[in-house]
Structure formats: structure tokens, C-alpha cells
């Protein structure tokens, strides 16, 4: 690694600590899974530091709304307590999810989705209404529930009380008889709102839509499953799931009247988002920053929800950092279930009193989890992996065969093997062991429009070729269509050649590739064993990218290749995002010393 690159990796994280004022704090921990969360959506924090989980259950032959309390950020929970008994109107033909809201006065609002009708046509003879009830503390005097929207609502993904006291509940409703087809799908997004603490409700005139397209790989529902937050300038901000490859956004000055929906900066598969504001004012967004899958020979393939991402904003949404994977489907490297949804989608984040976030997310058996997220972890600008913790942070599956019921079979591709020279250590083996596509391993790091990624690898004799690529979103391994969205690609042939006039790799020898990218310059400089050797132009330069956040390692062998390459470690760091000069001058020295002590062995690594 060059002196410049070592300095970048070494000093950059220290300056980042300085920039966010946390240089002497403990290193933030990555997201932690607290346990299963079946049947839960948002949890509710109260000012005393306790957190409530709200859910329905059957007890003594009656269906009730119940809760559990936690005083240690969701690590342990109290015994279940009954809040109130559900009426027949509360249950309907089926009781779906419950979304809670702790109000400014300390009370609790509950919003439930309740089935009505037994037909099969949404909005015609089958409905999912929204009901609401509320109670002041100590949550014993519950108002009679009421239906506040009548129609077909697919999901509720957020609710907010504005500083004015107005409660705003966004949702999408299926327009009865309208097909899931262009131009705008079957749904419109809107809100209901209350100015009297939930006693009465009115519906907004807004009918927000997003475009749909023929041949889309999925259901053309339109703009659905909105989430909401209030910004510092008092505007309400809504983000909606769409089928355009982006979340769409809309703004409102009062929560009732909304601007037309337009594409946001956030790329997304057809999956919803979740927003939360921290006690210190920062905003955190959770969503699937994924390229959608493509049809295979005209057949549908389930959308990409293998990983869930988060980004953080310290300036009320003007700029964002992170784009980190916070939850990976624990079964992503296996074939998906034959029926039903699966993956990491439907995030319900809740900021709690101590500044952490309790996140409930996931779909499918043993996939819906409760996590504890430290938002400071999203501020980090460097990452590395030497495989000592296994492949927990990698996607290494290979889809193959025709999809059945929109599900494509999977098998694990790249795997860990013993290091050839370091007893007890592991390396990643990327090859093509059979007639399926070559292995591809995908790794996430903090996003940056400027940064450096390094890989220490060995092309084994007989390797038929490899590639190292950089991307700004999650693209499933071996997605040939999605791969066209990569931003930089370095291809190395079977002879170790990768650029005219540059030295070839020594097959069977260790080499370090360093990729230094700058999206503003649309260029990536390549260093081989610390020496600059060439540069690559940016692919897809028309993309307005938020920054590179993915490294992809691929076997490009056209035939069976048992040799492939082995990888000892990967590292990535991104440029410090616009810190003030004063802040850097006053805190960089302390940050540098703190980081140097924590990482005093870093520069000595081979």
C-alpha cells in the first residue's frame, strides 16, 4: 500500500472522528440483533427511558391488545400486560399490523389495519380499513376505537405528530377496479390527519402517484407504503415505495396539502423505507438501497431485499452519509422459501432516549428481527475485513435455473478456506467450481464520492480471470443485468494482464490492488503493490451517484475453474465529508492520537 494510501486509511478515520466530535468516545458498535420480532412493527419510547412493544394476542379465549416493557433498550422485556380487549369491529375478518405513536402529551395512539369483506378484488369486495384508538397515561382509559379510513390499505409505515400538534398518518389505498399497470399503478398515496389528539379525523385531498412501466419485474402497485418525518423548517417529508428504481418524495407545509411526488435521491428496489429523528436532531433513513432484479426469459423474479441499508443526515436531509448494510438476511446464501415474502424489508425504526435506535424489520420465517443500531456507526468512513469473523458481512450466493413462483434457487458460491501460509487464518476463495456462473462476492463499506478500496489477493495458477468492481448500490451476485450499473470495473485475464503497458500479476503470488476513485472527476486510479499503474474512466457517468459503497469480487471464468483467486483482506475508506475548518483544527490532533492508539498495528500489516 502506498504512503499516500496508508495516510488516507490512517488519518481519514481520525479526522472523521474529529468532524463528528466523537474522537474520544468509544468506537460505535455495528448493529446488534436483539432477538425475534414476529408480529411487531414500531416500538414506542417514553420520556422515562422505557420502551413499549405493542401487539395483539389471544388470552382466555379473547383477543386483546397487549404490551411488553423494556428498560434496557430492548435487551430484556417485562411480562406481557393487557391494554384492552378487542371488539369484533377491531378484529374484522383479520387483524393486521398495529402502529403506535407516543404523543407530545405522553399519551399513546394506536392505528390498526382491519380486514373487511371476503372477496378477492381489492377496493371492490375486499378491504383493509384503518382503525384508531388512544389513551392518556397511565394507558388505562382507552377511547372507543373508530374507523378513520375505509378502503384497501396495504401497509402503514409511519405516523408523526407535527410541532403544531397535528397527527398525520400517511398510507396508500388501492383504487377499486384499477389494474396494477401503467401509467401510475393501482394505488394513490394520501394521509388522514387529526387536530384534536385523535378524536376526529379528516382526509387530505392529496392523491400522490408514481409512474409504472410495461414489462416491469414485479407488481405495478404505484406509489405505496409511505413513511413520514417533520423537518426542522416545519415541512413534513414523505418517502414512498415505487417501481421506478427510486423512492419518491413529497413535501407539505401543514401535513394536509402535499406537493406532487417526484424521485428522491434514494435508489431502491420495490421496497418501503423508514425514517426516525434522533434526540440530537440527526435523521436516519432505513431502506433497501438495492438494484431490482430483472425478469428471466420473461418470468418474474422476486425483488432484491437481501440487505437493508441506513444513512444518516446531520443537516436535516441535505446531505447523507453511511449507506451501510445494517441487516443482512441470515439465509441469503440459501434458496428462498417456496412461498411467501422473504428478506430484510419493512423497517420500523424508533429513536430512543439515549440516542440509539431500536429497529424492527424483516420478512419471512426467522427473518423478522429486533435490532439495536448505534447511529454513530453510520458516521464512520472506513471499514475492513480479514475474514476472521466469517462471511457475516458478505453476500456470496449464486442464483441459478428458471424462477418458480418468482423464486430462483440459490447455492453458496465463494467460500472461506485455510490460508496457505498463516495457520488459523482464512482466505476467501472465488472461483467457478462447476457449470453455474462464476462466484461473485459482494461487500459493503461507507459511501463516498471520493475514496479508496484495497484488496490483497492471489491469482492461483490456472485461474481463468477475475474482476474487481465498484458500485453505489447492492446488486445481487451474478446479476448480469444489474452488473451493468457498476461504476468502475477492473478485469484481469488468465495471464494476469489488466491494462496495456502495465506489468502482469505473478500467478501464485500475493498482490495488493488499490482503487482510488473520484466521482467528480469520473476517474479511478489503480495502484498495484503501491505503484500507480493506470486509471479507469467511470462507467454509467450519467448516474447521479451518492457515492461508491460496494466492492464486488468476481470470477470471470468461462469454463470450470477450480483455481480462481484467494483474498486475504479488503479495506475501504472514504473522504471526510465537508467538515468545517475550525472543527478540524481544534479537534483533529486529539482524534488522530486517539485513532493512532487504537490502530497502532495497522501500518505494520503486510
In DSSP notation, 544-591 reads --S-EEEEEEEE--SS-EEEEEEEEEEEEEE------HHHHHHHHHHH
Residue 336 CA to residue 412 CA, distance in Å, equals: 12
Grid cell listed for 133: 384508538
Q: Which three cell numbers stand for residue 343?
A: 428478506
pLDDT for 61: 87
How far is CA 441 from its chain centroid?
A: 18
CA distances from 507 to 457, 555, 565 (A): 10, 15, 10
Q: Among candidates 524, 459, 526, which has minimal Cα distance to 493?
A: 459
Tell me the C-alpha distance between 524 and 518, whole Å. Answer: 6
Q: Quick one: angle between helices 581-598 and 3-20, nearest 10?
A: 120
Fold match flag (38-380 vs 385-575) = no
18 vs 22: CA distance, rounded Å? 6
Tell me which H or E stretch contains 134: strand 127-135
Of 468, 462, 555, 467, whose CA–CA distance to 507 is shortest?
462
Question: How is 501-545 classified by DSSP, letter by letter?
Answer: TSPPP-TTSEEEEEEEEETTTTEEEEEETTEEEEEEEPSSTTS--
Beta carbons within 10 angstroms of residue 511's beta carbon = 17
Contact residues for 246 (Cβ-Cβ < 8 A; gap 6+): 263, 264, 265, 266, 267, 268
Quote the CA–CA distance of 114 and 146 in Å, as a whole number.
Answer: 11
CA 188 to mean position of chain CA atoms = 24
Q: To 10 degrees, the CA torsion angle through 470, 474, 476, 478?
A: -10
Longest dimension (CA), the chain: 79
The pLDDT of residue 576: 56
* Dihedral (Cα; 177, 181, 185, 186), 10-degree rounding: 20
Mean pLDDT of successive 10-residue stretches along the chain, which has 606 residues = 43 41 66 93 89 93 94 94 96 95 95 96 97 95 97 97 98 97 98 98 98 96 98 98 98 98 97 98 98 95 97 97 98 95 97 95 96 98 97 97 96 98 97 97 98 98 98 96 95 92 90 97 96 95 89 98 98 69 36 39 38
Question: Class of 38-380 per CATH?
Answer: mainly beta
Asked if 248 and 264 count as a contact pair (C-beta separation under 8 A), the reply is: yes
Least Cα distance to 285 among 219, 351, 336 occurs for 351
Burial tier of 103 (Cβ tally within 10 Å: 0-12, 13-18, 19+): middle
If we measure between CA atoms, which residue out of 434, 418, 438 comes closest to residue 566? 418
Grid cell 494482464 is found at: 497
CA distances from 350 to 36, 46, 71, 127, 249 (A): 16, 11, 15, 29, 21
Detail the DSSP E strand segments found in 195-235. 202-203, 224-230
What's the CA gap between 34 and 577, in Å, rounded? 32
pLDDT of residue 281: 97
Per-domain residue ranges of the chain: 38-380, 385-575
Half-sphere exposure of 366 (CA within 13 A, CB side): 5
183 preceded by cis ω (within 30°)? Answer: yes
Architecture of the domain made up of 385-575: Sandwich (2.60)
Tell me which DSSP letter residue 414 carries: S
Nearest residue to 497 via CA among 511, 477, 485 = 511
Dig out the grid coordinates for 543 from the structure. 448516474
Spatial contact of 240 and 172, defined as CB atoms under 8 Å apart: yes
Amino acid at each position: 500500500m502506498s504512503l499516500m494510501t496508508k495516510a488516507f486509511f490512517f488519518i481519514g478515520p481520525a479526522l472523521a472522528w474529529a468532524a463528528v466530535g466523537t474522537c474520544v468516545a468509544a468506537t460505535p458498535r455495528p448493529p446488534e440483533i436483539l432477538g425475534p420480532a414476529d408480529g411487531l412493527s414500531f416500538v414506542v419510547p417514553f420520556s422515562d427511558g422505557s420502551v413499549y412493544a405493542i401487539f395483539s394476542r389471544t388470552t382466555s379465549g379473547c383477543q386483546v391488545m397487549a404490551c411488553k416493557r423494556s428498560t434496557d433498550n430492548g435487551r430484556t422485556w417485562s411480562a406481557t400486560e393487557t391494554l384492552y380487549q378487542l371488539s369484533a369491529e377491531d378484529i374484522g375478518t383479520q387483524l393486521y399490523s398495529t402502529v403506535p405513536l407516543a404523543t407530545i402529551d405522553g399519551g399513546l395512539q394506536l392505528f390498526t389495519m382491519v380486514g373487511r369483506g371476503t372477496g378477492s378484488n381489492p377496493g371492490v369486495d375486499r378491504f383493509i380499513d384503518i382503525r384508531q384508538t388512544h389513551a392518556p397515561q397511565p394507558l388505562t382509559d382507552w377511547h372507543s376505537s373508530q374507523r378513520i379510513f375505509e378502503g384497501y390499505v396495504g401497509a402503514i409505515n409511519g405516523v408523526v405528530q407535527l410541532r403544531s400538534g397535528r397527527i398525520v398518518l400517511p398510507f396508500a389505498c388501492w383504487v377499486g377496479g384499477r389494474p396494477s399497470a401503467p401509467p401510475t399503478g393501482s394505488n394513490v398515496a394520501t394521509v388522514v390527519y387529526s387536530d384534536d389528539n385523535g378524536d376526529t379525523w379528516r382526509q387530505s385531498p392529496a392523491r400522490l402517484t408514481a409512474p409504472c412501466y410495461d414489462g416491469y419485474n414485479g407488481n405495478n402497485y404505484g406509489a405505496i407504503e409511505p413513511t413520514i418525518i417533520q423537518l426542522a423548517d416545519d415541512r413534513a417529508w414523505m418517502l414512498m415505495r415505487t417501481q421506478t428504481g427510486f423512492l419518491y418524495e413529497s413535501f407539505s407545509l401543514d401535513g394536509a396539502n402535499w406537493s406532487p411526488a417526484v424521485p428522491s435521491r434514494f435508489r431502491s428496489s420495490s421496497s418501503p423505507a423508514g425514517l426516525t429523528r434522533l434526540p440530537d436532531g440527526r435523521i436516519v433513513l432505513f431502506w433497501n438501497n438495492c438494484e431490482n432484479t430483472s425478469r428471466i426469459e420473461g418470468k418474474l423474479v422476486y425483488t432484491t431485499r437481501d440487505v437493508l441499508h441506513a444513512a444518516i443526515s446531520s443537516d436535516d436531509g441535505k446531505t447523507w452519509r453511511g449507506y451501510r448494510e445494517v441487516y443482512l438476511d441470515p439465509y441469503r446464501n440459501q434458496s428462498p422459501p417456496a412461498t411467501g415474502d422473504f428478506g430484510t424489508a419493512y423497517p420500523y425504526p424508533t429513536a430512543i432516549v439515549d440516542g440509539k435506535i431500536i429497529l424492527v424489520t424483516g420478512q419471512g420465517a426467522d427473518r423478522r428481527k429486533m435490532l439495536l443500531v448505534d447511529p454513530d456507526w453510520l458516521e464512520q468512513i472506513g471499514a475492513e475485513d480479514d475474514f476472521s469473523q466469517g462471511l457475516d458481512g458478505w453476500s456470496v450466493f449464486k442464483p441459478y435455473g428458471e424462477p418458480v413462483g418468482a423464486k430462483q434457487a440459490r447455492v453458496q458460491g465463494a467460500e472461506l478456506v485455510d490460508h496457505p501460509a498463516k495457520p488459523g487464518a482464512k482466505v476467501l476463495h472465488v472461483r467457478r467450481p462447476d457449470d453455474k456462473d462464476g462466484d461473485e462476492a459482494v461487500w459493503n463499506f461507507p459511501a463516498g464520492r471520493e475514496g479508496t478500496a484495497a484488496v490483497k489477493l492471489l491469482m492461483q495458477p490456472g485461474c481463468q480471470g477475475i474482476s474487481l468492481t465498484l458500485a453505489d448500490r447492492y446488486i445481487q451476485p451474478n446479476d448480469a443485468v444489474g452488473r451493468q450499473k457498476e461504476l468502475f470495473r477492473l478485469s484481469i485475464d488468465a495471464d494476469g494482464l489488466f491494462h496495456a503497458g502495465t506489468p502482469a500479476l505473478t500467478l501464485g503470488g500475493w498482490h495488493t490492488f488499490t482503487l482510488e476513485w473520484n466521482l467528480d472527476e469520473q476517474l479511478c486510479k489503480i495502484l498495484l503493490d503501491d505503484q500507480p499503474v493506470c486509471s479507469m474512466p467511470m462507467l454509467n457517468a450519467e448516474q447521479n451517484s451518492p457515492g461508491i459503497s460496494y466492492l464486488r469480487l468476481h470470477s470471470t471464468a468461462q469454463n470450470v475453474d477450480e483455481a480462481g483467486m484467494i483474498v486475504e483482506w479488503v479495506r475501504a475508506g472514504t473522504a471526510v465529508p465537508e467538515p468545517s475548518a475550525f472543527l478540524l483544527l481544534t479537534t483533529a490532533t486529539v482524534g488522530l492520537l486517539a485513532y493512532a492508539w487504537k490502530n497502532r498495528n495497522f501500518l505494520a500489516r503486510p
